[in-house]
């Protein structure tokens, strides 16, 4: 990943030479360039601000140096274009979901504003040169800083630590606060007793199933106590006193909403894969209707928001009589409950509800719904979709011995046990 930062205080970025981010830079995993905005001024005082039109307190950063900085940035693109991030209290919230999204972008540029902000025409110019989708205004929280540098340091660290190879043990990323929509569970180390305080006995038991259940309960309890706003208002998380998910079989009447949700959910996958020529984005409404029609080999489930009635999630599964051999016609190879493989497909959650645990619940439901004769759960996902790969790896899926037939994807599988069924 390449990162460019423009600031009137480029030395502010010095901490990025330290710790794991500095190590990632030295190892070539991360390329960071800091630029002094005053280099793009032409008066002897290197002026970057002026009084605001219409009056008012404070000063505004002038468009000229920002425009020349943008011209130089685009001129160095070599056919590529960066995504420009401008920190500001008036922007959309920067969340862990945002960090994961931006970790998949190869080139980021940050503009550190000061004073009362940057002349609004700079944003218009950036959108005209980069495209509207590549200009993002992001806020760390509901407060005001003296400048954007502190926010940029926080954002770069949050994004860069998600890059492959930056964190030594990538499994440690899967249960952090805000991953899966919940805060992290309490952690302990040796000694077992310290100043009269005991490590919870369950952590000393060696029973990994009980430990996992305890940690999940602790995440729910901690989130409910400290950050109840993170729990979905639509009660889409089971446990912790919340209303359980209502995952129900899809009907033909759901086809239209499923069609729209599928398109919304797979646009990011198409961008990640570098092509929109993928079945979820090319299938028409008739194909969607066929999957939820009586007699379809697919078993499809949906979730609706209990308050608005909106369809917000779905997943489906079907049986294979043998190994998933997609060289054979589908009608000759699927649909039998005697199938040894249980294929999972189209796991999707409305983009505005990502990170709230709904995906985990849908995956657990479709695994539990496998026929008793099934021995293996099997699915395909984007080969370059690091977020999806982490999600399925955490759920026990590993690279399948049965290859995916779709370009740009990878097949994953996990054994099914009596506890799953």
Token pair 């990011």 is found at: 268
pLDDT at 153 over 60: yes
Using CB atoms within 10 A of its CB, is residue 29 exposed (0-12), middle (13-18) or buried (19+)?
middle
In sequence order, which residues have a C-beta less than 8 Å from that of residue 415 and are 6 or more positions away?
A: 375, 376, 377
Q: Give me the CATH topology for the region 2-168.
A: Alpha/beta knot (3.40.1280)
Q: Give me the CATH topology for the region 177-187+197-231.
A: 1.10.1270
**Comparing 62-76, 101-115, 326-340, which segment has the lowest mean pLDDT?**
326-340
* Amino acid 415: pLDDT: 92
Bigger pLDDT: 77 or 410?
410
Average pLDDT, the chain: 84
At 318-335, the pLDDT tens digits run 997 555 544 444 444 444
pLDDT at 292 over 60: yes
Query: What average pLDDT does range 159-179 have in this prediction?
Result: 64
At 350-373, the pLDDT tens digits run 888 887 789 999 999 999 999 888
**Comparing 223-237, 250-264, 325-339, which segment has the lowest mean pLDDT?**
325-339
- β-pair partners for 318: 343
Confidence of residue 147 (pLDDT cuts 50, 70, 90): very high
What is the SS3 assignment for 146-199? Answer: CECHHHHHHHHHHHHCCCCCCCCCHHHHCCCCCCCCCCCCCCCCCCCEECCEEC
Q: What is the CATH number of domain 247-415?
A: 3.40.630.30
Query: What average pLDDT does range 128-144 have in this prediction?
Result: 92
CA dist 257 and 383 (Å) reads 27
Helices (H), 168-244: 208-226
At 172-188, the pLDDT tens digits run 444 455 555 668 889 89
CATH 3.40.1280.10 domain position(s) in the chain: 2-168
CATH 1.10.1270.20 domain position(s) in the chain: 177-187+197-231
Confidence of residue 62 (pLDDT cuts 50, 70, 90): very high
At 37-59, the pLDDT tens digits run 999 999 999 999 999 999 888 99
CATH 3.40.630.30 domain position(s) in the chain: 247-415
């Amino acid at each position: 990943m390449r990162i460019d930062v423009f600031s009137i205080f480029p030395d502010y970025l010095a901490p990025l030479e330290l710790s794991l981010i500095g190590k990632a830079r030295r190892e070539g995993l991360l390329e960071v360039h800091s630029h002094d905005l005053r280099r793009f001024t032409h008066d002897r005082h290197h002026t970057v601000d002026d009084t605001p039109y219409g009056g008012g307190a404070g000063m505004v950063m002038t468009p000229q140096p920002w425009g020349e900085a943008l011209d130089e940035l685009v001129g160095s693109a070599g056919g590529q274009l960066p995504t420009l991030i401008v920190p500001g209290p008036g922007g959309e919230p920067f969340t862990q979901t945002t960090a994961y999204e931006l970790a998949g972008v190869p080139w980021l540029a940050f503009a550190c504003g000061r004073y009362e902000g940057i002349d609004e025409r700079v944003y218009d110019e950036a959108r005209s040169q980069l495209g509207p989708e590549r200009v993002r205004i992001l806020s760390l929280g509901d407060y005001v800083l003296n400048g954007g540098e502190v926010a940029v340091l926080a954002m770069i660290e949050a994004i860069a630590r998600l890059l492959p190879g930056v964190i030594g043990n990538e499994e440690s990323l899967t249960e952090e606060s805000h991953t899966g929509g919940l805060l992290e569970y309490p952690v302990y180390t040796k000694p077992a007793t310290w100043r009269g305080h005991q490590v919870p006995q369950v952590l000393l038991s060696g029973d990994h199933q009980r430990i996992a259940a305890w940690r999940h309960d602790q995440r729910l309890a901690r989130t409910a106590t400290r950050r109840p706003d993170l729990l979905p208002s639509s009660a889409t998380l089971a446990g912790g006193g919340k209303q359980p998910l209502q995952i129900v079989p899809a009907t033909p009447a759901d086809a239209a909403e499923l069609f729209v949700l599928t398109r919304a959910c797979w646009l990011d996958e198409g961008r990640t894969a570098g092509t929109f020529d993928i079945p979820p984005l090319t299938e028409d409404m008739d194909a969607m209707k066929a999957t939820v029609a009586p007699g379809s080999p697919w078993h499809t489930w949906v979730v609706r928001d209990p308050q608005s009635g909106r369809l917000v999630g779905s997943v489906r599964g079907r049986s294979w009589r043998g190994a998933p051999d997609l060289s054979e016609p589908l009608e000759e190879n699927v649909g039998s409950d005697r199938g040894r493989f249980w294929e999972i497909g189209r796991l999707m959650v409305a983009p505005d509800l990502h990170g709230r645990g709904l995906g985990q619940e849908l995956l657990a439901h479709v695994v539990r719904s496998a026929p008793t004769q099934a021995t293996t759960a099997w699915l395909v996902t984007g080969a370059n979709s690091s977020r999806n790969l982490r999600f399925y790896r955490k759920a026990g899926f590993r690279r399948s011995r049965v290859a995916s037939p779709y370009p740009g994807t990878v097949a994953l599988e996990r054994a099914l046990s009596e506890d799953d069924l």
